[in-house]
A and B are shown apart, each in its own frame.
Chain A
């Protein structure tokens, strides 16, 4: 096994582990192909099991022969290992570095992980496009499921089955695809049952500098409009950025060619800027020596909260066009795999109560992120502690989760899941024993045979034992559209993620437990009252009217 070559020192005794807000642990450090393990071999001390894939970067320091490795994780945790012996420390460090940056996907842990639970409901089969289309068919017959991308040749980042307007044939789709970046022609993202309006998504049109046009593309999106109605194109880029894209062959829909559409430009940042923001934010959160002024100024400079606000604002705009203006919407940015998906998925959370349930949210992530071709593997290759030159990593998905958390905070009773569910998804997107977030597209996942060789995250999460942790005790289904406030005062720093390792959660956990307790006690009380009432009522019918004492 080739991992063995990378592990020069598999075991070191007398290693001391330091973690914030936890007692230090002394024990034996072991390296396996996928884990860093520290165990004190005492009964009641917690062991540390860290996936190598979770390690973002490491630093080493030496004082005499005592080496120290600072391990910075993708889930933003920072731990420190004191390792006696210079050579041991160097060996461990180089092994961690090698094992945490394996190139080949098929060497990743999910391919080796064997679940200790029985898979009852296979997550890989849970959210197939055919099922989603059945739901759509029950509401409208204007759409069809096209197999034009069966072999992923029309659009490598799209799934094989796509929902398109009924009247547009596959040949037109191919032509439209050749007019859109990466072949991502406009497809259905969401159907708003309430008024029959739709949201579509695509990549930028390839108009270039000489204003190329494509009749099929125009026909395709016009087919989604009702007679005499105008639609909205939401371009997630500023007009300036969209103009610049023309020079590189991209561009935006010209009014002259799309007279029935009104184009609105927003300003969601591109992914490399988002990555810088994440690095700055986490740096600010981890530096405990800041004065108040410095902290606020660093928070501002990271632009993270601004990004959250901009993404949410754009999602609200899309939702507003659909629900309030009664218009259909097309959303795109450049590639249609990042900001576009943030907007379309958040708009659905605002509009569609189904997306606020656990199953519905899982389906949304499958539909709008995994199958829609968000390149998880590239984007989540590194997190906030990446020190190399950024390639294509970016916290696009984390920002989406942050926005969901903001809505959840403002509507704490409207979601079936709680904050832990969102944090869990963040963790698994970056490092996981499950195969769900591996690969960059459906095509890649098929090639990797993920559904045969790995376990789906959903197979695990949806087990009642696990689900319990993620259920929101306050949940009461709410069938309304939920409009979040995007005022700066209403958007908070997501402490559950960014301050998670910088604070003691004891008091907050107690509060949560207390809340659960109150709700459960209440339910039980009501049940007991009802059952006693029933018993008494039964007696009454048997014995005739009661004398009230």
Chain B
């Protein structure tokens, strides 16, 4: 508590935090405002509850009409948390209201939390942290450069396209003239470039923005660019061009000199609309969904509200488009070029989803980081605008990234064993995107981030997530299933409402016992058990209770990979997989035991980076301390 006291800007006593479901239960507490957090502390007989809310997470503060019991203040968060506070004095309420308005809507980037936050790392750690996830490495993982594709530095000064990354994957036979010419014919210079190369079929997913075709314009270089993409795939004579927008929207754009590809002008393309709605429709849809979530409604009102929000319809449209891409690549062996208007919202959703469907790597904890870094951050999804980090145009805000995470969640519901991570991971990433505690999601494109010198002034989120990966692991993950392309059902009845996200803070709605938590704790117990077992076995061998391991017993150390990291505890694997016990019980080995080496082989140690264990300030948490703890700290 002393900690809070020193940091506080403001403190109001006798504030009530109203509980939506049990008003009687609401107790009195104290509200603190610090430079970064709103903290509500409730002290009941023997427990102390702290609710921390990061200012950046606050999306709106609303003063409700005065009631007999006090002045209510409603705080809505980007994490879908809803705080209903009740002040005794109108003046306190007004003060807090004013402060929160100011604190929750910073005007300049430098005011964002990430520029203050220091997880006590030195510069070397910081540098390593930023280098940990590399898009270039992912290109090599896909097999680039090869006969058809190469990594190009044409955009190294962001001159061809200011919102693209500095390195681009391009067809080998596209000349510089074709590349620059094509860029000029694409909205904001976002020319067709490689998003994902599928080694097995040699088919590629490429992305761009809409062509500046208007009603009649054409561009030879752009046509040649598509031709080059097509020629880069020897397995299929045509490419799909997927416009993810509804046809009507695309046609409307033609009047403004933009539009879509005319099949007559491009040889061997198959053009296709996908019908994903724009950012404004999505924003309104989420708004409606959240209204439904926060109401105490009948089943019928809830289902009608869910339908009217259109949210699941939009999720399905993104999933359908992702499926189309994946199918084209793996079944027809056809390359696909994807765009929407600017190619940084719907295009990012669809490309990244297709990557997850096609490539098991992106279903791992690290793989998802790489995917987000590649398709979202480096390709210029405008996180600052879409998340409303700063007090800017509210019409730019849209839950595009949230929808992507939800699609991944929907997949994990249909395929419980193919993701290395669990639901907590997706929710934590979502919280972090909005928290601005780390620098990854600040700015709208790579160039902006470079100009802000984010790598020098802020820290990267990924090492932090990796350090806590035990929380995010899916105990049911089975590497043996990793090679499969996912073919989810996209029938409407297979889409569910994501209670864990949109009603995350309504704990009462969630299952009271969690299978996931239960299994996670078992996995932990298992690791401890295996450690103890090794230790005991060593003692037993020393005592002659067990024969020497050089005998017929399979000890893990022998059959394990040469890159064994922790010789003192050969049972423990970073992926938590089980290894044979003794007496040849090898068939009992757990998931993935046969494959202990990380797929990336070369760098199993990457997960072991010495990421200085610093006490991180919670982004938004509720903690409960026992009385003893509280007394000790005060």
Contacts and interface: CB of A to CB of B under 8 A. Distances in A.
Interface of A: 284-285, 288, 290-297, 299-300, 303, 305-306, 308-309, 409-414, 474, 482-485, 487-493, 499, 502-504, 507-508, 510-511, 514-515, 517-519, 521-522, 524-526, 528-529, 532-533, 535-536, 539, 543, 546, 548-549
Interface stretch (B198-206, B376-384, B524-532): B524-532
Contact of B590 (A284, A493, A517, A536): A517
Contacts of A411: 511-513
Interface string B515-527: 1001100110110
A548 B543 CA distance: 10
A510 B300 contact: no
A147 B492 CA distance: 55
Contacts of A290: 491-493
Closest 7 CB pairs of A and B: A488-B302, A511-B416, A295-B492, A296-B307, A300-B303, A292-B313, A306-B299
Contacts of B525: 522, 526
18 contacts: A288-B491, A293-B310, A296-B307, A300-B299, A412-B514, A412-B518, A484-B512, A485-B510, A487-B296, A488-B297, A488-B298, A492-B496, A518-B523, A521-B590, A525-B533, A528-B582, A535-B545, A536-B543
Given A296-B312, A533-B536, 14 more contacts: A284-B493, A294-B492, A296-B303, A297-B304, A309-B299, A489-B509, A490-B499, A507-B415, A521-B588, A521-B590, A526-B529, A535-B545, A539-B545, A548-B539
A525 B530 contact: yes
B539 A549 contact: yes
Contact of A519 (B513, B522, B539): B522
B284 to A, nearest CB: 16
Contacts of A507: 414-418
Contacts of A525: 526, 529-530, 533, 578, 581
Contacts of A528: 533, 581-582
Interface in B371-428: 414-418
B545 A292 contact: no
Contacts of B499: 489-490
B312 A410 contact: no
Interface in B244-278: none
B522 A532 contact: no
B533 A485 contact: no
A549 B542 contact: yes
B280 interface: no
A293 B497 contact: no
A526 to B, nearest CB: 6
A127 to B, nearest CB: 28
B489 interface: yes
Contact of A292 (B316, B513, B582): B316
Contacts of A548: 539
B540 interface: yes
A405 to B, nearest CB: 12
Given A410-B511, A489-B497, A515-B519, A532 B303 contact: no
A17 B573 CA distance: 48
A529 B515 contact: no
A190 B288 CA distance: 44
Interface residues of B, number: 68
Given A293-B313, A514-B417, A539-B543, A522 B494 contact: no
Contacts of B515: 412-413, 474, 515
Interface in B575-593: 578, 581-582, 588, 590-591
A296 B588 CA distance: 45
A278 to B, nearest CB: 16
B93 interface: no
B28 interface: no
Interface of B: 293, 296-304, 306-307, 310, 312-313, 316, 414-418, 475-476, 478, 481, 489, 491-497, 499, 503, 506, 508-515, 518-519, 522-523, 525-526, 529-530, 532-533, 536-540, 542-543, 545, 578, 581-582, 588, 590-591
B481 A536 contact: no
B302 A489 contact: yes
Contacts of B529: 522, 525-526, 529
Contacts of B590: 517-518, 521
Contact of B293 (A288, A484, A489, A492): A489
A253 to B, nearest CB: 28
B539 to A, nearest CB: 6
A299 to B, nearest CB: 6
B299 A488 contact: yes
Nearest to B486: A507
Contact of A532 (B476, B491, B512, B537): B537
A412 B533 contact: no
Contacts of B491: 288, 290, 502
Contact of B536 (A296, A484, A522, A536): A536
A546 B543 contact: yes
A489 B290 CA distance: 12
A299 B526 contact: no
A306 B300 contact: yes
Contacts of A410: 511-513
Nearest to B536: A532
B518 to A, nearest CB: 6
B392 to A, nearest CB: 32
B537 A412 contact: no
A546 B512 contact: no
Report which residue of A309, A493, A522, A549 has the largest number of chain B beta carbons within 10 angstroms of its beta carbon: A522
B300 A303 contact: yes
Contacts of B293: 489
Contacts of A474: 515, 518
A297 B304 CA distance: 7
Contacts of B489: 503-504
A411 B513 CA distance: 5
A488 B506 CA distance: 12
A487 B508 CA distance: 9
Contacts of B518: 412-413, 474
A288 B493 CA distance: 9
Contact of B304 (A300, A308, A482): A300
A493 B475 CA distance: 25
B192 to A, nearest CB: 31
A300 B300 contact: yes
Contacts of B510: 485, 490
Contacts of B303: 296-297, 299-300, 305, 488
Given A485-B509, A508-B416, A532-B533, A524 B588 contact: yes
B299 A529 contact: no
Contact of B539 (A292, A306, A485, A536): A536
A511 B476 contact: yes
Given A309-B299, A518-B590, A489 B503 contact: yes
A503 to B, nearest CB: 6
Contact of B306 (A296, A485, A493): A296
A28 B298 CA distance: 51
Contacts of B417: 507, 510-511, 514
A303 B298 CA distance: 11
A47 to B, nearest CB: 28
Contacts of A414: 513
A493 B293 CA distance: 17
A412 B513 contact: yes
Contacts of A288: 491
A499 B489 CA distance: 12
Contacts of B513: 410-414
A419 to B, nearest CB: 12
